[in-house]
Amino acid sequence: MLEEQQLAQTVRRILRSVPRASLGTVMRKSDGAPYVSLVVVATDHRGAPILLLSDLADHSRNLRADERASLLFDDTGEREDPLAGERVTLQGRLRRSALPQHRDRYLARHPAARSYAEFQDFSFYCFIFERAHLVAGFGRIHWLDAAALLIAPQPALSEHEAEILEHMNDEHRDAIGLYARHLLHLQGDGWRLTGVDPEGCDLRLGSRVARLPFERPVTDANGARSELVRLVKRARVAAGAS
């Protein structure tokens, strides 16, 4: 059971860290031919992927006929041998979502999407898990069922996420800069927080995104603030040692 939990954490870490994925759908009016396209993704607090798709796109038309879908998240980075890196393939179904929290988290993660999210021919979708295939390097291959993949909702945190982000981005930009430079070893000034969930927080600067995991899961706003303070202290220690 412990190994399954650790594998599920690895899957969610990849999903939360990678901002784009390859979407596979079943081509409509065909004999089941696959169709693959590039999409931009975020995740909800449970770890489920969220997408914003044009109703006019082929993948959306395919989903109206058959909601079965697959998503490939490639976290192999700049490895000389990509096949030695981590990636996750999800199997399940993509269904439209009208939940405000899905919209808010997606647009916070991908602010450029605000320019077309209001168009009537764009819709948000949430991925409904059936299982995941994790490849964490040569010989490290695992299938996980849906029950292991999502974490429990934490409304005491999600209901205060916007408030936490506003406070951090307005009052503690120096702390976010410390996270970026000394914990994630990222260059550049002006990093912002775009999301806080039970397992960590998301950062963005221009087209670059980053993921900063928490040491332990949090369940409410006070827990998130305590973890963010702990991370600042750790970053300051790292800054003093550099």
The pair phi, psi for residue 141, each rounded to 5°, is: -130, 130
- The residue from 117, 134, 151 where one domain ends is 151
- Per-residue pLDDT reduced to its tens digit, 106-160: 999 999 999 999 999 999 999 999 999 999 877 789 999 998 999 999 999 999 9
Sign of the C-alpha dihedral computed for residues 22, 95, 43 and 99 taken in this order = positive
Mean pLDDT for 90-100 is 97
**80 pLDDT exceeds 90?**
no
**Residues 6+ away with beta carbon under 8 Å from 12:** 43, 47, 149, 151, 199
Distance CA 176, CA 217 (A): 19
> Could you give the C-alpha distances from 83 to 39, 41, 141, 192, in angstroms and in order?
22, 22, 12, 32
Host domain of residue 126: 2-151
Model-level pTM? 0.94
Number of domains in the chain: 2
Q: Are residues 132 and 198 in the same domain?
A: no
**What is the rounded (10 degree) CA torsion for 37, 40, 45, 47?**
40
The answer on 190 and 99 residing in a single domain is no
- The residue among 28, 83, 73 whose CA lies nearest residue 49 is 73
Residue 15's CATH number: 2.30.110.10
pLDDT number for residue 139:
76
Q: Say yes or no: 134 and 169 in one domain.
A: no
Residues 92 and 173 in one domain: no
Residue 184's Cβ-count burial label (10 Å; 0-12, 13-18, 19+) is: middle
Q: Record the tokens describing residue 183, joined without a space.
A: 């914990």
Supply the pLDDT for residue 81. Answer: 83
Instruction: Encode pLDDT of 165-221 as tens digits.
Output: 999 999 999 999 999 999 999 999 999 999 999 999 999 999 999 999 999 999 999
Residues 32 and 78 occupy one common structural domain:
yes
